[in-house]
């Protein structure tokens, strides 16, 4: 049985510092099926991007469905929804997204697709 099938929200522990393939550092906290994060661009301490996320883990298919938004610490000003697959307690992968600019027009894309702890 693969890790993604064996996980349940009772044994999912995502809390910690994660690195993503967009060059960002993500400080993730989960409590039960609730997930929050602060993500910042690592190379410039959040000046390029800084975002926060609030989501929920769905046990049946080990996904996180979340809303995120950039915050004014960075220069980007986007927001949207992310759906992430929990491959294990050390790997997350983006399944899909919808992203928008601060003026409401559709935008592309949330930079990260893979997170590793």
Where in the sequence is the domain holding 79, given as residue range(s)? 3-116
Domain count, the chain: 1
CA distance between the termini of the chain: 22
Asked whether 12 and 108 are in contact (CB, 8 A), the reply is: no
Q: Residue 14 belongs to a domain with what CATH number?
A: 2.40.128
Residues in the chain: 117
* The pair of three-digit structure tokens given for residue 26, joined into one six-digit string: 């993500």
81 pLDDT above the threshold of 80: yes
Q: What digits encode the pLDDT tens for the residues 88-117?
A: 889 999 999 998 887 666 666 789 999 999
pTM for the predicted model, two decimal places: 0.86
Determine how many CB atoms are found less than 10 A away from the CB of residue 28: 20
Q: For the residues 76-91, what does the mean pLDDT come to?
A: 92
- What per-residue confidence (pLDDT) applies to 76? 83
Task: Give the DSSP letter of residue 42.
Answer: T
Asked whether 59 and 33 are in contact (CB, 8 A), the reply is: yes
As a whole number of angstroms, the longest Cα–Cα distance in the chain is 45
């Amino acid at each position: 049985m693969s890790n993604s099938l064996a996980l349940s929200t009772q044994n999912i522990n995502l809390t910690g510092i994660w690195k993503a393939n967009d060059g960002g550092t993500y400080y993730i906290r989960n409590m039960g099926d609730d997930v929050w994060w602060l993500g910042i661009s690592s190379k410039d301490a959040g000046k390029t991007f800084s975002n926060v996320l609030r989501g929920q883990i769905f046990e049946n298919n080990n996904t996180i469905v979340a809303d995120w938004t950039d915050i004014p610490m960075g220069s980007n000003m986007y927001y949207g929804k992310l759906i992430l697959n929990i491959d294990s307690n050390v790997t997350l992968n983006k399944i899909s997204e919808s992203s928008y600019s601060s003026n409401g027009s559709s935008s592309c894309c949330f930079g990260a697709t893979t997170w590793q702890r």
